[in-house]
Structure 1
Amino acid sequence: MSQSTSVPVPPMAVRSAAAASDTPDLLYVLRHYRWLIIAGVILGTLAGAAIWFALRRYNPEWTANAVFQVMPPQVNPVARPAEGVQNADDTARFIRRQVLYITADRVLDKALQSKEFRTESWQSKWFAANSRNPSQALRKAVDVSPLPNTDVFRVSMTTRDPQESANLVNAIGRVYMEMLRQDQAEDEARRMSELNALTKKVGDTVKDLNERLNEFRNTHDIAAMTATHNIAMRTLDALTTEFLRSERDLTSAKAGLENVKKQVEAGTLTLSADMEAMIENDPTVRSLENQKLSLQSDKEVLLSRVSPQHESIRAIDTRIATATRQAEDQRSKLRAAARLRMQENAENVFKSIQAAEEDLRKRRDEKEKEVRDLDRWLVQHAQMVEELKVNQDILNNLKSNQTIEALKMLTDYSRVRLFTEARVPEEPSWPKWQMFIPGGFLIGLLLSYGLGYLLELTNTRVRTPRDITRTMQLPLLGFVPDQQDDVNHVGEISTSIRTAPTSMIAESFRLIRGQLAAAQNGHNFNTLLVASIAPGGGATTVAANLAIGMALNDSKVLLIDANFYRPGVKATFKEAPVIGLSDVIADPSKLDSAIAPVGDIDKLHVMSAGTRNSAGTGEMLESKSFREVLATLKGRYDMVIFDGAPLSLVGDSISLGAKVDGVIAIVRAGVISRGTIARVREQLRAVRANLMGIVLNAAQTHGAGYFKENYRTFYKYAQQKETAGSAS
């Protein structure tokens, strides 16, 4: 049957799953809205530059910096500190502490009392501007930060006056150094006192640990306990491995049982072939099947004497239906019983594995308890040994530190020194053009591109091949330019291949015909439905040009008007008789009189829609008479092309699509939405119609300019060909 015919899609029409997306392509949006994006970038850049210029002229800020260096720690107070030997992590931690120290309230509050901030008769500009809460303002204004990968950190402050910013930073640095030396001396004295007390405490702890360890060794045989522990561990490992294997088996059995139960409850558990055979051999089932066969035989005998609508025939049909239903009910009962037996077998397997797993669990738990008891004694001994060692090391270090701290108190050493004092800044620190101009550029780019992306995202109409192949994931057989964009086209577009053979439109139809020829090669394919997705798509134009092109290519073609609502073939081909498809379906003997050849194309014949109205056309296309007519035409012609009604409006074309070898859907560019095409695609799939592809009709060059380059290249090539022909 034609429904099962599978014709491969031509190579150019195969869609890429990897490229599928319901969202616009980023590069496509960039090309489509490039002038909008360029304008947005220019405006954003100009706005950023204007803001930067205004702020630099009327509201600049100046930042002064003082740099402090961290020296290596004083390991040996007698020797000079060596540059570069300090630990990087220790230096980083020390600098972080200094950052917190400088920004502490006690340092900043004391700095506010210095002469650089104010005296009894004078105030700095910064202090006057922040006199309401100078402490909080100073904490926000002062910035202390380490310089990456160095041993220095920076103290900076931003004000409206360059000279004042340098003076205030130097005042903060001076106060910081004074308080740091004072705190350092107090810390050293306190550390020495704490160190002496700690050394005595740790010494007492070491003495007590030695006594406890000796007592423990006298009451426990550590060597024998260790050997027993090793044997128990190996046994436990073997039991654990076996237990884990049993748990996996139990889990698998439980999952299998649950799966069987679910399938039994849902009635979807698959029975074996033997079980199905047993069900079919059930006496009741066999008896009902034999009864049904006997009734069907009686029906065939009666049909030879009476009509199918006779009362006796209907009575036999009722008895056949009853026997069929009873047989299916008996099968359902037998299958349910078989599934319950399968569930019982799965439960028995699960219980067996569960019992084995429980036995292994008990044996493992007993061995674990034995190992834990041994571990407790061995760990206690190891902890006592380790604790003694740690405390002994601490005691040794404390005695060494006592000596070092005593020597430090005799020297004056600070790890921080002023590396560079703050100088008057020459350039304002804010605003920075590197932030405002690129920022305006970026904001303008993002806003304009986002606007273009939003416009593209909200447009759901099909306009370009990309909308079909990438967004809709449908095969594209080709596209036909808009008639107004083809400067070489003359005459009627419905017969372009014959009346304007050198035009871009005619060449487009030839490409579509070539795709169909590639699909037809090696396959039984000689009936085709051409129908628009919606009215005005141009199905008659495409069908007529394909028919002309195939006929000119030495194929015997019949073009049939199957649009009973708005026939169009008769208007294109005046040779078409008044009697048409609807008349032939009603009376197949009129077939020959309904077909007429086209005058100047020997192998092209046409048939109109006929004289009958559109009422009941769906039933006509479903009739046995139509199937017989279609079979006759397939034997006479190489290709039978139906010009159908719009697929989205009437069911005639959907029904016809299920009976032909292939369907071509016509979409007029910029008119049909993606949702409409998707609905038609699902309707065709529902009747198992073979949708060979989409033809995009009336594709225009304006707008995104998608086809401009194709058209320009075609006409340039055509002109070169004509010039070469004239020269020869």
Structure 2
Amino acid sequence: MAVVNKMVRPSTPEPVIAAAGLTPKEIFAMLRRHLLLVISLTILGLLIGCGTWYLLRKYYPKYTATTYIEVLPPIETDPTMFMPEQVSKEIRYSHRLSLATLIKQQSTLQELVSRDAIKETQWFKDRDRDIRKAIKYLERHLDVFPQRDGDYIEISMTCSDREEAALIVNEMVDLFLASQGAEKREDIAEKLARLEERRLDVQRDLDAAQRALDDVRNRFGITDLEERRDYRDPIVVKLDNLELEQNQLILQMRELQGIIKNLEELATGPITEQIEHRIERDPVIVLLVQQLALQESVLAGLLTKFGENHRLVRRVQDYIEEIRERKRLREAEIAEQLRQSNLQDAYDRMIE
């Protein structure tokens, strides 16, 4: 019997494929094992966050006060026209951007810090009363942002006291508006000076014409022109022309005096009757008056129900003050529009 020797290789175990991920049961078991750790870390995180918030609020608070300045189109418009001239969006945004740059420039910040109300604040004292440190702080925390799609410039200030933040913002707005008003008054004063020079020139021409008339009368002895109707002497014709020129110069001088008087009234203040008439017809003022009356009635009801120190009563009172301030700003805007309109009318009459 033949024996066949056969080589047998050892069998190799097949690789076991690992599970692709944890099953929900395993995940739940892990959470049960570490439940105390998860709860402890959550509570610890809440305590650390609340403690940090409390310490920052108490020792390093930050408040931001924001206000807005409405910027009109950079052209002179007539408020009596129903279809005012349209200005492109890019031109209006460029005008707002230039004004925002003017507000944030170094000289404006220095004038702001030099004001007495700013020097008396705790914010200025914390800067060691150093103007350079205060200006450096304002450059970082005083934001002036011109809106691209709106007609407003947003001014905001961030510091550790909310009242002082609002004070700094209000002082910046007052400083900017005062500087703009000073420039307008300088323009009016310059126009008045030019008109005064022109009036003096007309007066000199009138005096020269009067002296020429007196010289003609004295040289030729012309005292009565009514008796010589049948003959028109060349000297008489010249005399008539001179008298006509004299009358024209007198009329021009009187007209210039009226224009100068009108410009002086524009420089000193608005015309009360025109402003009152315009305010009564202004839809924004009418809406604000209606809102003010509504809020005052709501305030009366809240006072009867809750008293003066309730939170809702104070909120309504603040809103009423805001409406009154908006009404005052709108009235000032209407007065400025009338002033510019009257100024343009006087200028047009002067050119004619």
TM-score range, shorter chain: 0.3 to 0.5
Higher relative contact order, chain-length normalized (CA < 8 Å, sep 6+): 1
Higher strand share: 1
Higher helix share: 2
TM-score normalised per structure 2: 0.37
Structure exhibiting the larger radius of gyration computed from Cα positions = 1
